[in-house]
Structure 1
Amino acid sequence: MSRNRRPTIVDVAELAGVSKSTAARALTGSTNITDETRERVVRAASAVGYERNHLAVGMRSGRSGMLGLVMPDIANPFWADVARGAQDRAAQAGMSLLVFSSDWDPDVEATHLQTLRRARVDGAIINPVSDSFDDLDRFGLPCVFIGSSAERFPDVSSVGSDIAQAVRLGLDRLVQMGHPAPALILGPKSRLARARFLRAVHEHCVERDVDPGILDIEDGEYTVEGGREAMKRLMARARVGHLAVFAANDMMALGAMMAVRDAGLDCPRDVSIIGFDGIPSGEFAWPGLTTVAKPGRDIGERAVEGLFDEIEHKPEHRRIYMPCRLIERGSLADLSTHAPKRIAGAGRV
């Protein structure tokens, strides 16, 4: 066989000593092939460097063997973890994953969705960057939603973190450490994730007979710089006593820690900070960032499994809430044995 010629199923059959049809059935997972024959054909395919023509297979089956994933920010390690989980699960099923980042831009997202349609992917996992996602009816492909916006679409299968459970984990730990009313660094007001986070905080406060209105709140982008600037604004406010902060994601929390250092203060001696997401970089910060970790990789895996159900026309159309866990590091001061003069977060003078 010429080195310039692509190996064919005929080359595999000849080397394995079987017919062309037998070789084809062995490589497509047919059940009426003995294990010994299948193994012989697989070895022959590997030896000659044969790869199935997935385009031709797709034309016959109506499937491309490809899935799409559109996420808002692949530079955020949490979303990268989601992508890894989705990719691993797709690979287990012999499928490929096309990954796109919308950078929180609805127009960019629309372009990616159009590309997926043109690529004739079998289905897509989407985190809509706009809570008024209006392209669903025109998308024309099986899909599963991830992220907070999914709750606005009850007829679409979706997977996400249990935000209420996660926020409660963080707040319970803050209370245990002597921080009954932390300041909050949240995302933009346009995002449903901000409303869900704030709702969980308010419910927790009401249960403890704490007025949610005393909480200091700063908004910002879900980035390191967004957290840094929000933290500067919080520290510029006059207050008494120790400041505790709950940030809506770890990148914002890491930016907040940078702002504390920039101001010549110390975390956790002067300021306590807890994050949300569980990205690896929080472990390497100094001090290490205490955080509530979302199961990014598990979300990716479950989303792909849900997409398989959509593709096979057997979806349950339900929202799967996945539990989060607390990761203890060193960014929270323990004030539980001290009675602060005033409630942190309410100390305006």
Structure 2
Amino acid sequence: MSKRGGRRPTIIDVAARAGVSKSTAARALAGAPNINAETRERVLKAARLAGYERNHLAVGMRSGRSGLLGLVIPDIANPFWADVARGAQDRAAQNDVSLLVFSSDWDAAKEAAHLSALRRARVDGAIINPVSDSFDDLDRFGLPFVLIGSSAERFPDTSSVGSDIAQAVRLGLDHLAEKGHVAPNLILGPKSRLARARFLRSVHQHCVERDIDPAILVMEDGEYTVEGGRLAMQRLLKRPHVGHLAVFAANDMMAIGAMMAAREAGLSCPEDVSILGFDGIPAGAFTTPGLTTIAKPGREMGIRAVEGLFDEIEGRPEHGRIHLPCRLVERASLADLSVGTPQRKAGAGRI
């Protein structure tokens, strides 16, 4: 019953090959519980041999479900968000559900267009990272949804999944302090982003707990990109400083940009400059030196978001924020000043 003349195999072809009725074949492919294992396996094998694919549109019309979920993330080119998408896709596939992925490019208008497209596509629900902290269109979305990312903090009554930023920042600052960097310079994101405020709030709390005046911290803002980190680092290097320079960047792409700027200035990492990243993207393992970073659980975030969305779709909402812990990935971009290791004068070497 293979395809001939361009004709797609039908459920009738599968039933004939398996030696069962059309209704039995359909129930076996749908996973109905009242089909014995031997019959189900015979039907599945017949479907594979025939090259049969279920018509999800027709199934959706009967069940009221499309078998599609939407995912709107801010930047698919950022490996962290790609990891989130991969986790969501893998988890959705376990339930025979497909995922439509959209990248808003940090543009609120694009995000609105993507959400409209998802509604027209009749997806069963969506996972959204609002690019604007003033995102207020949730009530009008009209479909089950789960939020991810920092903006979700503004919606405490909505199911959401994100990294435990406070725990992550403490982890990074504690590790820097153990290495002798008690007051690192900070490269932060744009002032318009809630993620920046949450990061900075955790830094201030850590300083107060350690009896450090937060006002002494030197900060530069930039976009969450390699170029944004590079430009912010250039501005930091123009500021007056004495001795070794330590930098904690708000994401790994910015940290990699900071390493580039240090190299361009004739500085060596970690001899002259220590740099700590945030996200845990794979590229950090291939910089020279390898980037020490606080890794956020991107893939786990995608998995948990899909599981939460399934609950929303089934009317079993688990309202509240799920905070996933982060972990330290130690490589070679931080100098250890705690042991009194002599450091070269700034500008004496290259990365």
Answer whether TM exceeds 0.5 for this pair: yes
Match of 2:282 in 1: 280
Structure-1-length-normalised TM-score: 0.96
Match of 2:184 in 1: 182
Separation (CA, whole Å) in 2 of partners of 1:339 and 1:31: 68
Match of 2:126 in 1: 124
What secondary structure is seen at the aligned counterpart in 2 of 1:58?
helix
Q: Residue 162 of structure 1 is aligned with which of 142, 164, 169?
A: 164
Name the aligned partner's letter for residue 263 of structure 2: R
Match of 1:346 in 2: none
| Cα-to-partner distance string for 1:234-293 (whole Å, 9 max, x where unaligned) | 000111111000000000000000000000010000000000000000000000000000
Name the aligned partner's letter for residue 62 of structure 1: G
Q: CA RMSD in A?
A: 1.2
Q: How many residues align?
A: 341
Match of 2:268 in 1: 266
Separation (CA, whole Å) in 2 of partners of 1:26 and 1:105: 45
Match of 1:111 in 2: 113
Query: Identity of paired residues, percent?
Result: 79
Name the aligned partner's letter for residue 130 of structure 2: P
Separation (CA, whole Å) in 1 of partners of 2:322 and 2:250: 21
Separation (CA, whole Å) in 2 of partners of 1:57 and 1:146: 30
Match of 1:249 in 2: 251
| Cα-to-partner distance string for 1:102-145 (whole Å, 9 max, x where unaligned) | 00000000000000000000000000000110211110000000
Name the aligned partner's letter for residue 184 of structure 1: L
What secondary structure is seen at the aligned counterpart in 2 of 1:47?
helix
What secondary structure is seen at the aligned counterpart in 1 of 2:186?
strand
Q: Residue 210 of structure 2 is aligned with which of 205, 208, 211?
A: 208
Match of 2:237 in 1: 235
For structure 1, which runs of at least 5 residues remain unmatched after alignment?
341-349
| Cα-to-partner distance string for 1:289-342 (whole Å, 9 max, x where unaligned) | 0000000000000000000000001112110000000000000000002399xx
Matched, 1:11 2:13: yes
Matched, 1:172 2:174: yes
Matched, 1:101 2:103: yes
Match of 1:45 in 2: 47
Separation (CA, whole Å) in 2 of partners of 1:300 and 1:122: 17
Match of 1:314 in 2: 316
Greater CA drift, 17-26 or 254-263: 17-26
What secondary structure is seen at the aligned counterpart in 2 of 1:103?
coil
What secondary structure is seen at the aligned counterpart in 1 of 2:61?
helix
Match of 1:343 in 2: none
| Offset at residue 229 of structure 1 (A) | 0.3
Q: Residue 61 of structure 1 is aligned with which of 56, 63, 74?
A: 63
Match of 2:349 in 1: none
Q: Which runs of 4+ in 1 moved over 4 A?
A: none
Name the aligned partner's letter for residue 220 of structure 2: E
Name the aligned partner's letter for residue 82 of structure 1: V
What secondary structure is seen at the aligned counterpart in 1 of 2:101?
strand
Greater CA drift, 131-140 or 71-80: 131-140
